[in-house]
Amino acid sequence: MSNDAYRVLYVEDAFDQAALVKAFFNTLSGYHVVHSQDGDHAMELIATKEWDLLVTDLNLPGTDGFQLVRAMRAKNPTLPILVTTGYTQAQYEEQSLRAGADQVMIKPLSQADFVARVASMVARAEVPAHEGDEVVLVVEGRLGDAEMGCGGTIMEAVSAGARVVVLPLLGGETEDTRAELKASGIATSILGCDFEPDRATFGNPAAQRAALGQLIQKLRPTTVYLPAPDDRDPHRKSASDLARSEGARVRNLYGYETASTGLDFSPSVFVDVRAEMVMKMEALAAYQSMGCPRVDLRPRMAQAYARYWGRFRDFTEVEAFESVAPLS
């Protein structure tokens, strides 16, 4: 990043839209915005100058937004890219993400949403890809959620030198809990992360809140993964709300998919886990080997999810995450 300000290349041909977005940026400190009204000029700016963030429309005079995204991604593989578009058809969002955009926003734009997304994208880009002291916390409402929802991403983080801790916040114990706990210990070990269940907190929201707050204070994680906020399972929903509340000061909060995730799940981060899928499926197989009857933890289910979201990343195998706002 620039020492003085984040250098933003903003590409938009509509005057009213450009004025609106520049006003959004004025509410943020530390951003220097360069506005270009056509794609050809923007391509020159991409080639000749250094940038920290690209925000672009798709329908532009000259070079279109898809080409701009590809050019910027080729120049800088980690630079945050946000597409803003009036196209509501799903194929435009998919094409934008496949071209290399990190997120897509449909016009009309909300100031609160726009500012939150920009801040989150820039903060995520500031974390070095191989920062050895990075800590990732995964909160789950049912055992096995971490492996199913973000097992591949966990392995990537561990490979990059991060410490990953999985914390189950369960709604209670059943006859199957003991076997699932043993399976979770095996599965998380395969993924290379720490598993920290506390049976005293099971079914006790107050104890869970205290344990989660203490763990966040102790670990100071840079990223927390949690069940997506619209999860229909009450235990997962409770775990998600607790994580969003206690993780208000955590830089990155990302919701992952479970078998009970609702239709409002809107992922904007897609992680290619093709290289990790075999080990992820092996980790999930631990549940079957321990006699756990959970259909939602079957390895083939994980592969089906990954291939479904793969349409956003060159049709490979992908884990999808929703950028989540904290609860005040």
Residue 128 has pLDDT above 70, yes or no: no
Query: Are 294 and 144 contacting, i.e. CB atoms less than 8 angstroms apart?
Result: yes
Region 139-147 average pLDDT: 97
* pLDDT greater at residue 74 or residue 129: 74
Residue 121, CB half-sphere, CA atoms under 13 Å: how many? 24
Which domains, ranges and CATH numbers included, belong to the chain? 6-126 (3.40.50.2300), 135-323 (3.40.50.10320)
The dihedrals phi and psi of 305, each to the nearest 5 degrees, come to: -60, -45
Cβ atoms of 33 and 25 within 8 Å: the answer is yes
**Backbone CA torsion sign across 259, 260, 261, 263:** positive
Residue 93 pLDDT class (50, 70, 90 cuts): confident
The structure tokens listed for 70 are 């590809």
Note if the pTM is more than 0.85.
Answer: no
Q: Looking at residue 2, what is its pLDDT?
A: 44
Per-residue pLDDT reduced to its tens digit, 239-289: 999 999 999 889 899 999 999 999 999 898 899 999 999 999 999 999 999
Confidence category of residue 132, pLDDT binned at 50, 70, 90: low
Cβ-Cβ contacts under 8 Å for 311 (sequence gap 6 or more):
94
